[in-house]
């Protein structure tokens, strides 16, 4: 019988050798807990993230835009389902995860607690929110937990389509009438700072970062990812003639990166704690959707039961 210390050493050696951890492998309880929290939070974000965009499907300006937006929102639902399955491999069941979301115990990305006010928001969300998500998720394709890493590979392919469709909406509006251009700029103004907040608190205040990096759950810190996002996105805004709403934004030749203004962390924490503009509405919508769908789950279970019974009968005869 190996002692705990040996098991932990072997576990870390595997991580250091870039061998993936699989569901039946031994793992420290804290690793399991961190992953359950992170993967389920990620799954909840995909599911709640369907709401701000779902809001615009019926009002998309053309059939093409409608078809694209519908496909994008469906993708997000699919991402949520993959991720719930990945979380379940760690020994937690989906009902518990969903209950924790509905009771407010579990968190999801705060970005989805902001309202989507105009059609241009569909552009800004795809471009900035999916763009920020990609920064995080590309890194997660190499995360140390096998089922999570594999889910991320497919998800990332879809996310890059989401980002491009959003950017294309912004490009079209930015080249349109003055009113359309104003709409695009207004959406950028409202979504820019919340998008930067998607990378989480600054490294100096992030409680989960250090262990996550040692276990290679994460490979870059919140601040590194945020910088990467700013560096990639500012030239994209310039290319379509929009202005990033940050008076401190400036290319720093020496660092080889953009310097940017301070984030409003009071706003960040207020939204995390449930006081954002749409927290209440989003949760109410999720709970209602879950309750309205109860009959589908019941019917699926009854059907599975019936099939099982039939198979048993056939088995008994044969
Ligand atoms: Fe997604
Ligand atoms: Fe997406």
- Whole-number Å distance, alpha carbon 42 to ligand 1 midpoint, is 9
Residue 1 has what pLDDT? 59
| Sign of the dihedral through C-alpha 294, 300, 303, 305 | negative
Express each pLDDT in 117-140 by its tens digit: 999 999 999 999 999 999 999 999
- Whole-number Å distance, alpha carbon 122 to ligand 1 midpoint, is 14
- Whole-number Å distance, alpha carbon 213 to ligand 1 midpoint, is 23
| Alpha carbon distance 79, 280 (integer Å) | 23
- Section 162-188 average pLDDT: 98
In the structure, what pLDDT confidence band is assigned to residue 204 with cuts at 50, 70 and 90? confident
Residue 316 has what pLDDT? 76
Q: Which ligand is nearest to the CA of 72?
A: 2
- Section 134-159 average pLDDT: 94
- Section 104-127 average pLDDT: 96
- Whole-number Å distance, alpha carbon 19 to ligand 1 midpoint, is 26
Residue 2 pLDDT exceeds 90:
no
Classify 215 in phi/psi space as left (phi over 0), alpha (psi -120 to 50) or beta.
alpha
Q: Which ligand is nearest to the CA of 125?
A: 2
- Report the share of the chain in percent with pLDDT over 90: 91
Instruction: Please classify residue 249 by burial: count the beta carbons closer than 10 Å to its beta carbon, then call 0-12 exposed, 13-18 middle and 19+ buried.
Output: middle
- Section 2-16 average pLDDT: 93
Q: 3-state SS string over 251-315?
A: EECCCCEEECCCCCHHHHHHHHHHHCCCHHHHHHHHHHHHHHCHHHHHHHHHHHHHHHHHHHHHH
- Whole-number Å distance, alpha carbon 279 to ligand 2 midpoint, is 20
Contact between 45 and 106 (Cβ < 8 Å): no
In the structure, what pLDDT confidence band is assigned to residue 36 with cuts at 50, 70 and 90? very high
- Section 300-312 average pLDDT: 95
Residue 244 has what pLDDT? 98
């Amino acid at each position: 019988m190996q002692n705990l210390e040996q098991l932990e050493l072997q576990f870390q050696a595997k991580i250091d050798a870039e061998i993936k951890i699989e569901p039946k492998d031994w793992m420290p309880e804290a690793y399991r807990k961190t992953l359950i929290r992170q993967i389920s939070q990620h799954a909840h974000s995909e599911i709640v993230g369907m709401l701000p965009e779902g809001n615009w499907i019926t009002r998309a300006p053309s059939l093409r835009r409608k078809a694209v937006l519908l496909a994008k929102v469906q993708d997000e639902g699919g991402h949520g389902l993959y991720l719930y399955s990945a979380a379940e491999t760690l020994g937690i069941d989906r009902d518990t995860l969903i209950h924790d979301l509905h009771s407010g115990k579990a968190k999801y990305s705060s970005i989805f607690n902001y309202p989507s006010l105009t059609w241009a928001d569909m552009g800004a969300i795809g471009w900035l929110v999916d763009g920020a998500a990609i920064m995080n998720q590309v890194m997660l394709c190499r995360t140390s937990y096998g089922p999570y890493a594999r889910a991320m590979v497919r998800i990332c392919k879809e996310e890059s389509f989401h980002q491009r469709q959003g950017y294309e909406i912004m490009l079209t509006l930015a080249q349109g009438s003055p009113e359309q251009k104003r709409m695009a700029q207004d959406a950028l103004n409202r979504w820019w700072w919340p998008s930067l907040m998607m990378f989480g608190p600054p490294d100096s205040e992030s409680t989960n970062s250090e262990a996550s990096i040692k276990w290679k759950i994460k490979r870059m810190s919140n601040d590194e990812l945020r910088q990467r996002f700013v560096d990639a996105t500012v030239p994209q805004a310039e290319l379509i003639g929009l202005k990033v709403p940050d008076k401190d934004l400036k290319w720093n030749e020496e660092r080889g990166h953009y310097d940017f203004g301070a984030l409003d962390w009071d706003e960040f924490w207020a939204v995390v704690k449930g006081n954002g503009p749409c927290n209440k509405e989003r949760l109410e919508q999720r709970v209602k959707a879950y309750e309205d769908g109860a009959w589908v789950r019941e019917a699926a279970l009854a059907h599975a039961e019936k099939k099982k019974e039939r198979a048993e009968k056939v088995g008994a005869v044969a």
